[in-house]
Amino acid sequence: MTRDLLSIPPVPADRRVLYGDDPNQFFDLYLPDAPHAVAMVIHGGFWRAKYDLLHVSHMCSVLAKSGVAVASLEYRRVGNSGGGWPGSYNDVRAGFAAIRKHFGENLKYVAIGHSAGGHLALRLAVDEPTLSGVAALAPVAVLKTAYEMNLSNGAVEEFLGGSPAEIPGIYASACPSQHPSTVQRILLHGDLDTDVPIAISKEFEAARQNDSGTVWFMKLEETEHMDLIDPESRAWPIVHMDIESLIDG
């Protein structure tokens, strides 16, 4: 049974670092003694302000214990001043730059995004070829399809500011499935996901299979939306293994 990660106590971070002047422009660090790589974790919540980074703290803590320095990114979201597109994505880019400055140039960097955070991580792979890889966990990877599915009661329209018919250029610009990338990407998606149906990841894989950066998709059996970020779920060992393989590859 899936745990309610939104209601259980979070794991405290080792340190908080600001990357901007807005209260939502910071990242929390979970640090091993001698990191061999850095993972920027981008939380989900359909880009809405009521969901923050605390529910991914358990995953971040476990990753840090395996030797990965984790920077859990907060960003402005719909409902925050400046949130939505492109403000939320601009924060992701600014946060990534600040994380690289913090840790230096001698480590590998990967981005891990869940749900709406998976969208942002995949979009970052378009503009940041310095990434060693992206792990997109149940990502909202195709925005027009997500709009047509009415995910979370209009979340895509809220995030982008209109429908595909009204603002087709913004949908094209914001959607990672519309842009090539040189970065390796893995998409993991549960077959029982009712929040973000697995068909979206399959559509992304088909759209970007000819990119110079490889795209690899895996369906996880008997797996729900939040299982992918829960270290106590049956899916977690597979998720963790694939993140490690992305770092080591």
Residue 4 forms part of a structural domain: no
Helix boundaries (H) for the chain: 57-65, 87-103, 116-127, 143-148, 155-160, 168-174, 199-208, 236-248
Say what the pTM is: 0.98
> Residue 112 is part of a domain; what is its CATH number?
3.40.50.1820
Q: Domain tally for the chain?
A: 1
Are 45 and 120 in contact, with CB atoms under 8 Å apart? no
CA distance 194 to 182: 30
Residue 2 forms part of a structural domain: no
Please report which confidence band the pLDDT of residue 249 belongs to, taking 50, 70 and 90 as the band edges.
confident
Residue 3 forms part of a structural domain: no
CA distance 152 to 132: 31
Residue 8 forms part of a structural domain: no
Please report which confidence band the pLDDT of residue 1 belongs to, taking 50, 70 and 90 as the band edges.
low
Q: Is the pLDDT of residue 41 over 60?
A: yes
| Mean pLDDT score of the chain | 98
Q: What is the CA radius of gyration of the chain?
A: 16
Residue 125 forms part of a structural domain: yes
190-225 pLDDT, tens digit per residue, is 999 999 999 999 999 999 999 999 999 999 999 999
**In terms of DSSP bridges, do strands 37-42 and 26-30 run parallel, antiparallel, or are they unpaired?**
unpaired
Q: Is the pLDDT of residue 15 over 60?
A: yes
* Domain range for 165: 15-248
